[in-house]
Structure 1
Amino acid sequence: METTPNVIEVTDLRRRYGAKGTGGFDAVRGVSFRVAQGELFALLGTNGAGKTSTVELLEGLAAPTAGSIRILGHDPYHERKRVRSRTGVMLQQGGFAPDLTVAETLRMWKGCTARPRPITEALAMVGLDHRADVRVKNLSGGEKRRLDLALATLGDPEVLFLDEPTTGMDPQGRRETWEIIRELRGRGTTVVLTTHYLEEAELLADSLAIMNEGLIAASGTVADIVATHPSVLSFRLPPGFDAEDLPSPQSLRATLTGSEGRSVHMSTMDLQFTTTEALVWARDKGIELKELNARSASLEEAFMHIARNGAMETEATRS
């Protein structure tokens, strides 16, 4: 069985700002991951987690303090000429000339791009073909992000870095951009995505990593990461019953996380068993569980758990 080759290989990556010892700061403290061809890899983390420092190294904007990076088999910093023409970068904020039109902006960028696609095609792909003659300063925030994407993909890159690609877009624009990203991935483009919209990562990513304090705290598919966190079962008991009337948490394979009046909330690593046992108990008692809600953990819950525990561990270390 053939395996898809890795387009990005990162091994024990480290980035330090400032001097050695107490005078500096380690932003990236030993990060390793692989991204296969045609895969969309999302790198997540709270502000200060180290993801921006990591992506800048992947883009070849700086040399790592230690560790190695290979993009398409090359070092993106020391072999920049071999890598740059094959990659596209959509920064968090573009630096456009405000008085140029959309079409003029692309024509200017086309002169700096290897193997550029036709401007009309680039604009049509991001839905800006009808705004070609509009000055950049008159575009909305969402339209400027679309222009950023058009510039990043003008050279039909093999590897595409997207930094917060849908910031400033309305819900429709965000979903249209997701479809563009899916189309690019379907054509074989390898995508590295950073985003604060966890729904975006959950819908688009083939795999992801969550960074915390300069390290990767969790990695894998969305399902892999979510599976390590408890599911939630909640319901409201009828009059005459309260949480004390339920079977013991041990027999339900659950933890009672809250009960207010007749409202019950449980966390469990075996949602099917816990839900079945609760429903069988309710059937035997001849009662109905109102507002019944059984759901698996979400990426947001896993992310917040990592962020919260990381902050607590950092504070404990300082203390």
Structure 2
Amino acid sequence: MSSSSSSSENNRSEAQCDRDSLLHSEGKASSHAPRAFSLTLVATPIGNLGDFSPRAAQALSEADLVLCEDTRTTARLLSENSISARTEALHEHNERQRVPALIERLQNGTRIALVSDAGMPLLSDPGYRLVRAAIEADIPLTVIPGPNAALTALVLSGLPPHPFMFVGFPPPRSAARKEAFAKLHAAERAGLTATLIWHEAPHRLAETLADMAEIFGPTRPCAVARELTKRFEEVRRAPVADLAAFYAETPPRGEITVLLGPAEAEETSADDLDTTLRSLLETHSVKDAAALAATAAGLPRRTVYARALELAAERKAQNQP
């Protein structure tokens, strides 16, 4: 073998070693926990503690501080994973007041991890104000993904998986709930086509489903997912009115996600218009209710306003002693 070819092979060997070294270094860096001066959002199990990822455990173990909704709930998760970490509460009642001091600590090098009681932080949980403040302060932040009740329910529901819209919790009172549903139904009339997803408390489930049946129609496909990833996981699939009747007779327990399938394309009937108007008139003026309903139905405002006046007069007469 010539000296030139031997030198060439040595050069290739050295280059390969350099590449291997670089890849090894990058691999170690990519698996490393959150770096200093960072905020890390960490997903936690929605029921089954076995769903907690090694990367999430590493992030919490290396954080200087773990912010959580309820320190008692997070303490169990930490204990199960032999993690010793300092915890402090960050919830809807104290987040606004705590954010400035937390940003200062992040700027001073404190590594902070944020978790919710279950699932992805921020989704129907605290943390949004802190994240916005961190972005504005140019503080590096990252997310360690993991369990999510809305997406888990979506893939189990049998309803179209995309597009979908996660709406959070519906309003607790029926009048406000119907108003929120009517606005979504108006958006559907204007072209929105998506599977709609809510979380709901068990003691309000039957009433919420009944309100959905009234606003969206009794035959809309629906699914109720309960206790996801836990021992008594259950998903019921049926028209929304049927599920409303079932849960009125069978009070549910546990964590609940409700999914409503997209509306089928159909022309608005007079009954649909009256249903929408009656619901909107409970919380809106005649003028505003007519404007929303006209947009939803794609009908002239003058025509819808005239019908709204008639329904308002009927309602006033019915409410008189």
TM-score, shorter chain, exceeding 0.5: no
Larger Rg: 2
TM-score (norm 2): 0.28
Which one has a larger percent helix, Structure 1 or Structure 2?
2
Pick 1 or 2: higher relative contact order, CA cutoff 8 A, min separation 6: 1
Which one has a larger percent strand, Structure 1 or Structure 2?
1
TM-score (norm 1): 0.28
